[in-house]
A and B are shown apart, each in its own frame.
Chain A
């Protein structure tokens, strides 16, 4: 191991992006763009590849036919290898087919990527200010809840009610994120703790809302909300496919956040606070205000992501509507290295994996859990770049940034 390697056994590097690299520890002149892009892509790509290889082993060794073939390995070694390869081949080709193999598959992938991209941005944006937003799930729940409420109760013309739903959902998420931000800014309460707690509160608020007459249709008693009015549903733009305008909201948000971070004064301040709050304060920035605002914006993004679900694909609000999307969003932000375009790519990948999992299960009866394991492995490899380096013997251009640790230490 080189000296370089030992210093890398730390937390991952969520906030790193090419521009900031020059300001940290690299003393060499900034390498050309393609070189930086290639370097920063190495770990994620190798992580995805490694995860797929381990996933392949899991698929092989949970398949009864394959196990049987291996049990008879010494009678017929070729058969064992062939059965293994066939099983993995069938599984992964079904996965690929369900992810991008047809217009319907692409539609499904985009649909599932939409909330992941928006919530991934929520986590990534907070990372930039060295804030670890674990509360995306709660913020999404609030967004979904209020957007759904607007969607089934506001009797106003189509485009207006959709707009109202999205705005209300975004605001609800922003308030939820903002609470954690204000608490951090005024009392120093750590956002990791407060956002986790706010997740629980949001979950139970939703469960409570689904017992009230304001949300439930009369006469059933099951915790499924009134259906969202037809004119309040996000319009679908390919007939027969489920993908809706939400994906353009996600794309717009990616561009907007990129612009804010790279071209606006506020974005500069956010990054300054993230890199060194003391220096930022010394430079005259209002660290408390920026912290609170960052969390509110992050919450708003997650809230918008949550809002797109009830008024998009599901058409109703249920207690499990968000599931663990807000936690998958943390994975998306990590894989995307907190870069808005990285988040877009990672969100599309996870959306495609989720969509493909359905087809894989339908065609091969391999449990969807395998895909969840693959996603978790991707994050494991991304979070431990030293592991990737050790396996593939590559150097990666990642300069270490103290974002994670400073988030914990600075309280």
Chain B
């Protein structure tokens, strides 16, 4: 009985679908024109993001870049579109789909899209692109390259990480601080370099000997991906076991594993990266000493705004402390006043170019 019912229901549903589909075909197409008509009345600009294989909800750079797009939709009235890449074979067709749709600005995210973006940019010189986290480089010629129609959005995160490292060294009671990354790639290790340089500067200023576990300037601890939070938890635990009491995970959502490990331990603080930890992981706000903000959302927003204002600038954009493309959130009352003052001085010194953020 029930099976017969199921069968009838399935058949019925199928019929409704087919009938409905046929009946509403015209309706459907008029709906779409209506929709696009409504959009163009707000602004004629479309901004189109292509994610890498992480997807738009990766709680990492694809998502942060998307925040900038959403903000632009809200504030500038642009039409935002997103294509997620489910595999690397999708990169080229996704970018091409947006070119064909006449997007005003295409925003590919991440170094994996480097090649596909360059190819598309060469083929379509009138199409504008803003690629996140990539600085084009011609390995054969050994020189930097750029295109007239591509803005390369990069970030000097070592500047902000320097300040976080200085703070970490200044608040550590065990004399050991730690860090680890997701994968050993330049966009990750630049955080660790700055952090290490900050700790070294603190040691030089105060005659202390605070040690950095997990990064020595060329090699260190990596979990191997940007997904497995369990590995983040284990890695953090082993850093805690070795005596580190301030830890900076540079691994996107893997850092949530560190939050768990720090929750279970006593007196361990974390340095969150990419976003302000107190905003993206509000439950764990108490655990965060500070955050190294890499404001990809701001850069993406600004890039879209430049297209809206007809003021698009191709070439390299670098987010720095100076232009507020990177930074740390305002320091709270838990930071000793002297230390906070010192950090502010270094911020000024980095901006003026007097302070190097490269570890020695």
Contacts and interface: CB of A to CB of B under 8 A. Distances in A.
Interface of A: 50, 53, 56-57, 81-82, 84-86, 88-90, 108, 111-112, 204, 207, 211, 217-224, 226-227, 242, 309, 313-316, 318, 320-321, 323-325, 354-355, 357-359, 361-362, 365, 367-369, 372, 390-393
Nearest to B115: A316
Contacts of A81: 16, 20
B88 A219 contact: no
Given A53-B14, A222-B185, A82 B97 contact: no
Interface string B156-175: 00000000000000000000
Contact of B3 (A82, A357, A365, A390): A390
Contacts of B279: none
B88 A358 contact: no
A313 B89 contact: yes
Given A362-B101, A393-B7, A84 B20 contact: yes
Contact of A108 (B21, B86, B93): B93
Contacts of A112: 89
A358 B185 contact: no
Interface stretch (B24-32, B60-68, B228-236, B301-309): B24-32
B312 interface: no
B89 A53 contact: no
Q: Which 3 A-B pairs have the closest CB atoms?
A: A85-B20, A217-B139, A362-B97
A129 B86 CA distance: 33
A309 B89 CA distance: 9
Contacts of B314: none
A368 B84 contact: yes
Interface string B1-44: 00100110010011011011101110110011000000000000
B86 A391 contact: no
23 contacts: A53-B13, A81-B20, A85-B17, A85-B20, A86-B20, A86-B24, A89-B28, A222-B185, A224-B111, A313-B92, A314-B88, A316-B115, A323-B86, A358-B94, A359-B97, A362-B83, A362-B97, A362-B101, A369-B86, A390-B6, A391-B6, A391-B10, A393-B7
A221 B185 contact: yes
A111 B19 CA distance: 34
A223 B185 contact: yes
Interface residues of B, number: 47
Nearest to B90: A358
B278 interface: no
Contacts of B202: none
Find the residue from A56, A86, A315, A316 having the highest chain B CB count within 10 A: A86
Contact of B27 (A56, A82, A219, A368): A82
A219 B144 CA distance: 10
A377 to B, nearest CB: 14
Contacts, number: 125
A219 B139 contact: yes
Nearest to A227: B115
Interface in B62-95: 81-84, 86-90, 92-94
A219 B89 CA distance: 25
Contacts of A368: 84, 86, 90
Nearest to A362: B97
Interface of B: 3, 6-7, 10, 13-14, 16-17, 19-21, 23-25, 27-28, 31-32, 53, 81-84, 86-90, 92-94, 97-98, 101, 111-112, 114-115, 137, 139-140, 142, 183-186, 224
Find the residue from B23, B86, B139 having the highest chain A CB count within 10 A: B86
Contacts of B89: 111-112, 309, 313-314, 354
A108 B97 CA distance: 12
B24 A85 contact: yes
B184 A211 contact: yes
Given A242-B92, A314-B89, A391-B6, 13 more contacts: A53-B13, A86-B21, A88-B17, A88-B21, A90-B28, A111-B89, A218-B142, A220-B186, A224-B111, A226-B139, A323-B53, A362-B94, A365-B82
Nearest to A81: B20
A390 to B, nearest CB: 6
B93 A85 contact: no
A53 B17 contact: yes
A325 B53 CA distance: 14
A344 B20 CA distance: 34
B275 to A, nearest CB: 23
Nearest to B16: A81
Find the residue from A53, A108, A221, A362 having the highest chain B CB count within 10 A: A362
B93 A219 contact: no
Nearest to B144: A219
Contact of B139 (A84, A220, A309, A324): A220
B309 to A, nearest CB: 26
B34 to A, nearest CB: 12
A89 B21 contact: yes
Contacts of A53: 10, 13-14, 17
Contacts of B81: 362, 365
Contacts of A372: 86
Given A220-B137, A222-B186, A365-B82, A85 B10 contact: no
